[in-house]
Structures are given as C-alpha cells and as structure tokens.
Structure 1
Amino acid sequence: MNADRLPGTAVGGVPSPPPGLVVVGHFDQCPGYRVERPRGSDSWLFTWTTGGQGALRQGRAETRADPGQLVALAPGVRQSYGVAPGARNWRFWWAHCRARPGWSSWLRTYGAGDGVYVVGPVPAGLHGRVESAYRRMLADARWTGAEAPPVSIPADDRVAVAHGTAARELALCALEEVVLLSAAAARTPAPPPGVDARVRRAQELIAADPGAPHTVRSLAAAVALSPSRFAHLFTEQAGRSPMRELREARLLHAARLLESTDLSVERVAAASGFASPFHFNRVFHERHGTPPGAFRARHR
C-alpha cells in the first residue's frame, strides 16, 4: 500500500482506521499532500518527523511538525494535516491506534489544546532509537505468530496493519517506547505565565508518586505554605483542588497497572493510594466508564 491509494479526505464511507486496529507507516510526501477529517479520527494518530516539515490542525489548535518532534492527535476532533506551506516535503513515521491509558500522564505536559500534544524537540541522540522503534513496529505488525518476528523490513514496505493479537501488542510496545522516550527526554514546555513555582512543585510530587499518602497538609509543608494558603493557591492556578489532582493521578496510575500487570484489583487499589477497594471501584467506574476488572479485560 502507498499514499497514492489513500484518501485525501476522510468522510462518510472513508473513515480513519478503526481504534481496534494498529496501523503504522512511513511516508515522504511532496507539497500538496493533505488529509482532511471533518469528523475527526476514530483512533489516535502519532507522527514522528524525520525530514521536511508538516502542518497539523485539530479543532482550534495548530502546530508545525519539525524533525525530532512527536505530535499526537487524540480522536474525535476535526483535524487536518499535510506538508507545511513552503516546505519541500514531509518525511514522517505515523501510527493509528487506541492509545494505552498510561500514556496520558506522559503526554499531558505537552498538551496544546483540543487533543493536540507536541512533544519535542527530542534530543538528537535519541532520534535513531525512536526511528528504530518505529521500524520495529512496522516489522512486528506483520508477525503472524508462526516463527520469529521479522528482524528487518523491505525498503519499499511503507504501511502495515497489525491484525493478530500478538502482533498488535508487540507493535503497541514499540510505540510505547516512542512515547516514553520522547516525553521523558523532550524539552519541557515553559509553564504558563503566572503559575507559581510552589504549585508546579506540588504537581511534580503528585505525578512522581501518586500512590504515596499525600495530604493537603503534607504537600503544603513540602512547598513551605500553610495548608489553607496552599489549597487556595493550588485550586486557583491548577483549576482543581490538590485532592482532585491527586485522585486523577491515582486513577491514571491504576489504569496503567491494570493494563500492564497481573496484580489483583485490590492490590492495584492499594498500590495507587486507595485505602478502600470499594471506593476505588466506584471512582474508577465513574472516571473510565467501566469497572477495573472489565477495563483490564478490554485493554488486554
């Protein structure tokens, strides 16, 4: 399959790949290449640019994709992307899939609005490893489960669809490496103007160990504020209370454990900082729309 056979406009009977599939490819497009999805995509799109420049728009958010940048577009929002105006080409790796829940916490820092995440620039020393992970993803997507996965891909192999369960999981593991490497090593965007350093520090403490027994008092002490002053400042600047921020971080951590480990639901609850499994089940269901056990079955 090559780009010439793909639709320029994805509407009606020509939708984006369904979220249950993992589709990966590598394109080198000339000026004029553009994809429009007025209804948005049904799955996440992850692009890694290796040459030229791309232009992506989703909702009201716009960004340019430069070499060494990972750009992720969440599903469900009107989107368009193509070769940037004035650029000679756009050479990039891409993947459509359902994102693993744990990736949200890695991408959150790089949110540009309307489900757009711009991760980068990633240090040049990691570019080869990120591209290698995408190449492995393309090869693993073709694994049939009968022999060993292919160790290389033909030069003209540009698009692959992972149909089997094992092939999908291997491909997602390679993409997870891309997301983790990029998000961990990229230059963190400057915080919004006016955000107090003590609020940022408290957010970092929560994100670093959501399962710890954090309280308003302990977080306030860590940033040298009184509990009442800290709670007011945090809520004012973060848009939600410290305990709400903590609960969201714990639920994300729990989702990651359910997806990637065989720990019982009770142990996942305890490891994520929830004292009561009953309370954990209730708030997890409220947040994700399904009980923890059903969530694990669906995502594994």
Structure 2
Amino acid sequence: MTEPADFDHDLATQVLIELYSEIPPPSKLVTGHFHSGGDYRVVRPDGVGSWYLLYTAGGTGQYLLGPDRLTLRHGDLVLVSPGTPHDYGTVGTYWESWWAHFQPRREWHGWLSLPQAMPGLSYVRLTRSSETDRVVSAFDRLHRDAQRAGLSPTGDTELNLLEKSVATELTMNGIEEVLLVAAASLRQNTQHLDPRVQLVLDAIRTDPARPHTLTSLAGIAQISVSRLAHLFKEQVGDSIMNVVVALRLQRAAELLGATDMSVAQIARAVGFESPHYFSRQFGRRFGMAPTSHRSAVRNPELELY
C-alpha cells in the first residue's frame, strides 16, 4: 500500500493510488471481506472479465465512473458487469465491504437486471434489517465456503475433490441468495409504485420484444411522454428504454443457453432489428459476445483461485 490518497486525486498522479494489477481471470470465483482504511482505492481502467458483487456493511465507500459518482453506505449492494471500469475506494476513514467475482449460472440472468445507477453498474439499497442481516450472513457463509473450496489464497487444500465440489456449490448458492434478496427487495418496493408506472412495467415485462416507444407506453399510462419519463425514472431508478433493452438482453441470454437459434434469429426474437446493434449491446451488458456467452454457459469452467 502506498501513501494515503485523496479519492478525488487526478488519475495522472498514480503514485498516490493503489493500482491493482492482479485481476481475477474471468472463469475464477473469488470472494473477500475488507475492513479498509482511508487510503484504500482500486483502479482498473478496463474492468475485469467477471461479474463483481459488492456490499457495504459499514463505513463509507465511493464508486466513480467517468464524471459520475455513487456514495456507498450500509445496506448498499452494487453489481458491476464485465468490462466496466473499476474505480472505487474508502471515503473518510473506514469502509467495510463484502465482495465476490463470479460467473453467473444460466438461470440467474433474471436477477442480474437490477436498476442501473451508471452504465454497467447496478445498485440496490437494502433498508430492512431482515434484508441486510441476511445478506451479511450469506456473504459470511459463502466466503467461508469459498475458503474451504480453495477459492481464495487462504483456502483449505486438504479437502478431497468431492468436498471441494460441495463447498464450491455452497459458495455459488450464497451468491445466488444475495441476488435473490436484492430482487425480492425490489419487487416489494415496486408494490407501492404509481399505478401508471406499474402499468408500463407490466406491459414491458409481459412482452419486451414488442416495438415499445415512449409514445406507445405513455398511451398505456394515459399521461404525457415527459411526465411518464420523469415518473418512471424517479420510481424505478432507470429510464424506460434502458429497462426495455435490459429485459430483451436477459431474454436473449436465456435463448442462447437453451436453444440452437442463430444470433440473428435471437436478435429478431427479442426485439432488435439489427443483429450488429444487438451484439454490441449484449457485449456491453454481459462483457462478451453472444457466441462466447453461449459457449460459456454450455461449458462452464470454474477454476480454483
């Protein structure tokens, strides 16, 4: 660790910033629990090839993405997609965080479509003690299971292959539990949405492949386009068209894993007119091309770290 750094210091002065060069390979599952001081910062301009789940259990942290910043406090859960730049660290003197780098199981993609706070970065604030306590418990268990499976440098190397396999599955189950808590929290919160926003959400979720436009959705809600756009962003935390695209890409990921349809066929089936545009958006969302995603979900490889 170098000398303490101001989190807002220009990236040109890297001498004051800990620049992490050890980046987990995309196929490796890695977990951790940090109690970080005021000089803690991670900068990875190109991101990583895996998904990154980060939960703030105490203190204050901050995530920067271009000109945008997101302050992280107790109960904040962040999900960063592959390829999204990493620039985060402690604000003040203390930050406690749990984290995991992972590749999702195929059936998880519905839970990865959380509200985006920044491009490539989803964010959920858990406010109920039942949620925050469960997330901390899940992270604690999955971290210990990861150590038993040898998925961390301090892992147990004495277990046989069957025991390591079971411990690895338990680690993945813990990540799944965290994602489910976040998804359930969002569903509970949306029960109190404005009825007009709920109508629009229902229409999009029922058939995301339809040629939805702001005008057509405003007609469903029977309010002006500008009013709907403002109300939707305020209550859902993301724009209407971002939600439409996210749901289409989620469905595309499912079809890639479950069918032999071509990329062009899947693009059309989920509502994209241009296969090239679809592939570009898919890459931004999942950090890999559609064909690479299909290979990954059909031939998963989990290496020990």
Question: How far off its partner does 1:40 sit?
Answer: 2.5
Query: Counterpart of 2:26?
Result: 19
Question: How far off its partner does 1:34 sit?
Answer: 1.6
Query: Counterpart of 2:291?
Result: 290
Segments of 5+ residues of structure 1 without an aligned counterpart are: 1-6, 146-156, 190-195, 270-275
Query: Counterpart of 1:124?
Result: 129
Question: How far off its partner does 1:9 sit?
Answer: 1.1
* CA displacement, residues 48-73 of structure 1 (integer Å, 9 cap, x when unaligned): 11111111212333111111111222
Distance 1:126 1:158 in 2: 29
The answer to whether the aligner puts 1:95 opposite 2:103 as a matched pair is no
Indicate the RMSD between aligned Cα atoms, in angstroms: 4.6
Query: Counterpart of 1:36?
Result: 43
State the one-letter code of the partner of 2:47.
G
Query: Counterpart of 1:50?
Result: 57
Query: Counterpart of 1:111?
Result: 116
The one of 2, 9, 12 equivalent to 2:19 is 9
Return the TM-score normalized by structure 2.
Answer: 0.61
Change over 3 Å in CA distance of 1:101–1:65 after alignment to 2: farther
Question: How far off its partner does 1:128 sit?
Answer: 1.5
The answer to whether the aligner puts 1:201 opposite 2:202 as a matched pair is no
State the one-letter code of the partner of 1:57.
L
The one of 259, 263, 277 equivalent to 1:265 is 259
Q: Which residues in structure 2 correspond to 1:163-178 (within 5 Å)?
A: 167-178=167-178
Q: Secondary structure in 2 aligned to 1:53? A: strand
Q: Secondary structure in 1 aligned to 2:291? A: coil
Change over 3 Å in CA distance of 1:240–1:204 after alignment to 2: same
Change over 3 Å in CA distance of 1:63–1:265 after alignment to 2: same
Q: Secondary structure in 1 aligned to 2:147? A: coil
8 Å CA contact 1:24, 1:160 repeated in 2: no
Q: Which residues in structure 2 correspond to 1:120-269 (within 5 Å)?
A: 120-144=125-149, 167-186=167-186, 198=196, 201-207=199-205, 209-210=206-207, 223=220, 245=244, 249=247, 251-253=249-251, 255-256=253-254, 265=259
Distance 1:215 1:180 in 2: 30
Query: Counterpart of 1:3?
Result: none
Distance 2:217 2:139 in 1: 43
8 Å CA contact 1:22, 1:171 repeated in 2: no
8 Å CA contact 2:148, 2:156 repeated in 1: no
8 Å CA contact 2:29, 2:100 repeated in 1: yes
Change over 3 Å in CA distance of 1:292–1:26 after alignment to 2: closer
Distance 1:160 1:283 in 2: 44
Residues matched between the structures, number: 247
